[in-house]
A = this chain, B = another copy of it.
Amino acid sequence: MKILAVTLPKVRICAVGQWPADRIDRDGFLILDDVVQKEIANIASLVSYECGEHIYAQEAPEQYIYVPHSGAVRVSHQLADGRNQIVAFYMPGEPFGLGENGVYLNSACALTDCLLVRVPRAALDALCEHEPRLQQDCLVGAMAQLRLSQRHLLIVTHQRALKRVADFLRECSRQQEVFDPVRNVLSLIMDRSDIADYLGTSVETVSRMLGKLEEEGLVKRLDARSLWLDLPRLNDLLDN
């Protein structure tokens, strides 16, 4: 981890579908007014992590909220028996760092090299006290995460492995950072075991389901991390 001493870039918060249209800029990020941006800049810092580097650990004191500026982050929960549930992957603009009773609930790890905006929680809370607008944005953000979490639950409990994998690919293809809509090629930023841990299954099953999707022609493995997708047919599969 390195704290960068450059001026903080504007905090960009991913906002599509959550906020009213007049609060979203053309890139799909939330518009914060200049005063708030400035006040955040006063308390936040920009930090960089290398691929694979640990950001915080489950049970560690909950000090910061993070917002990725570039790169991607994996947040997961370790169980007593050593298994691992990936709670979510975070892309630029998606805040993470949920705690409970002052400690982090999960651990976070850099999936790629990344730059994060890091905001001390206490200072953010204080700032929210006299910036109701920001407070509300936090609420809207938390509810968005709740919806995602509920959706995750639905997919993982009520779909067979094949659909889970297909759904995962579709969700990934929504992230413009990793999907080339011209060639229809998805560049996975995570390995098979991350996918398995996210979907609540095993690496072998993920691999087999990719094989099955490939047999059916819905997917083609260009290499392990690059997948050509037939999105219309994936949608068909998932919606019926």
Which residues of A are interface residues toward B (Cβ below 8 A)?
17, 77, 79-80, 83, 85, 87, 98, 100-101, 105-106, 128-130, 132, 135-136, 138-139, 142-143, 145-147, 149-150, 152-154, 156-158, 200, 239-240
When distances are taken between beta carbons in the complex, the residues of chain B under 8 Å from A142 are 139, 142-143, 146
Using CB atoms, name the residue of chain B closest to A18: B100
Which of A128, A147, A149, A152 has the most B CB atoms < 10 Å from its CB? A149
Bound state CA distance, A79 and B240, in angstroms?
10
When distances are taken between beta carbons in the complex, the residues of chain B under 8 Å from A130 are 132
Q: Is the CB of A153 within 8 A of B98?
A: no
Given contacts A80-B239, A87-B153, contact A105 B139 (CB under 8 A): no
Q: List 18 A-B contacts (CB under 8 A).
A: A77-B154, A79-B154, A85-B153, A98-B147, A98-B150, A105-B150, A128-B132, A129-B132, A132-B135, A135-B135, A135-B139, A142-B142, A142-B146, A153-B153, A156-B156, A156-B157, A157-B157, A157-B200
Report how many copies the assembly holds. Answer: 2
Bound state CA distance, A136 and B147, in angstroms?
19
Q: Of B136, B153, B154, B200, which one neighbours A128 at CB under 8 angstroms?
A: B136
When distances are taken between beta carbons in the complex, the residues of chain B under 8 Å from A80 are 239-240
Bound state CA distance, A129 and B158, in angstroms?
39
Bound state CA distance, A181 and B150, in angstroms?
32
Which of A79, A142, A145 has the most B CB atoms < 10 Å from its CB? A142
Given contacts A139-B138, A142-B142, A147-B98, contact A85 B200 (CB under 8 A): no
When distances are taken between beta carbons in the complex, the residues of chain B under 8 Å from A149 are 146, 149-150, 153
